[in-house]
Every structure is written in structure tokens, then in C-alpha cells.
Amino acid sequence: MKVILTTILISMTAATAAGQARLGAAAAAQLKAQADECGRAFVEGDFARLADYTHPKLLAKVGGREQLIAFLRQGVAEMKAQGFELLSYVNEAPTQVLNVGRETYAVVPGKLRARTPGGVMVSETYMIGVSADGGRRWKFVSGSSVDPAKLKILFPAAAGRLRLPAEKPPVPEPAP
């Protein structure tokens, strides 16, 4: 299951001299709204909308928008054939916001719920949001698709400065 979720989440996305940056209210609201929309698109299977929120560097690495959409459709179809279903993706407040040059990076943790043959599982995950226009528009990279080496390729100026959450295995959802 973890391999499948990691593959699916591929779509899903730096310190200043004085230290960690803060988002203004408008930029924070845009980050939340757009991260939530990205998560919703993933769960609902709206991969065209999800591709619109995917960082262009990641789109280029996977061969473009249409390739990403096809890859995600295939991955979700395989997942469903094995008895898995995405239920929800809920974002939390950013744990880190950094400015590097003209870009703002935000680490946005979230929880993905999925029905599996063994019950509902919850995965702690995250996205990296990147804005080049002061927080009006955000593009995302799923945390499951970046390790330190890939981060250096996608965002070399921020790679050594972002504090990414540790990877955790999915856990069963507690019974109500």
C-alpha cells in the first residue's frame, strides 16, 4: 500500500538572513485554500485540476501535464483494483515558511485517509508549496515524491534549508 500511495502522491507539492519567514494573512489564506483544493482534487480523482496545482519543475520531470494525468489515473485504477480507496486529505498549518530569492516555500503537513482491505488507514504526509508571486498562487510537490536528492534537483536553493517531516508508516484509524 505504501508504494502505491507514494506513487500516487507524486503529484501531490529557505531561510532568510533573519531566519524563518512569516506569511501575511492574505498569503496564508491563499496557501490554505490552494493546498486544500490540491488535496481535494487528489481524493476526488480530478487529476487535471491536480496537475494545475503541481509545480512546473515536477511536471517537466514526469514528462508534462498529460503524462502526469495518465500516470495518476493508472495508479488510482491499480489501487482500486487492489481494494484501496482514497477517502480524504486534510491539511494542517504550515510547519515552515522560508524565502529564497523571489520564491516562498511552505511545508504543509497533512493526513491522508484511505480504505484498505484491512480497514481505514491514516498516513501522515506533507506537501511543499512554492509561490513566486508573494503568496497569491501556489504550486505543490508531494512530500512522498521528494527525498533530499530529488529536492536538490527540484529546488537547489532551498534544498538544504527546508526541514521536512520524517516519513511515518500508515496507521489504522482508531475505531469510533
Q: List per-residue pLDDT tens for the chain, 176 residues long.
A: 554 444 444 334 323 333 357 899 999 999 999 999 999 999 999 999 999 999 999 999 999 999 999 999 999 999 999 999 999 999 999 999 999 999 999 999 999 999 999 999 999 999 999 999 999 999 999 998 888 899 999 999 999 999 999 989 999 998 77
Give the containing element (helix H, strand E) for 40: helix 25-44
CA atoms within a 13 Å half-sphere pointing along the CA-CB vector of 129: 34
Q: Would you state the pLDDT for residue 12? A: 42
CA distance 40 to 26: 21
Q: Which stretches of the chain are assigned E, i.e. beta strand?
A: 85-91, 96-100, 103-116, 119-131, 139-142, 171-172
Q: Would you state the pLDDT for residue 128? A: 98
Q: Domain of 84: which CATH number?
A: 3.10.450.100
Q: Would you state the pLDDT for residue 20? A: 57
The 8-class DSSP code of residue 49 comes to H
Q: Which residue range forms the structural domain that includes residue 77?
A: 2-172
Split into its structural domains, the chain has a count of: 1
What is the widest separation between alpha-carbon atoms in the chain?
51
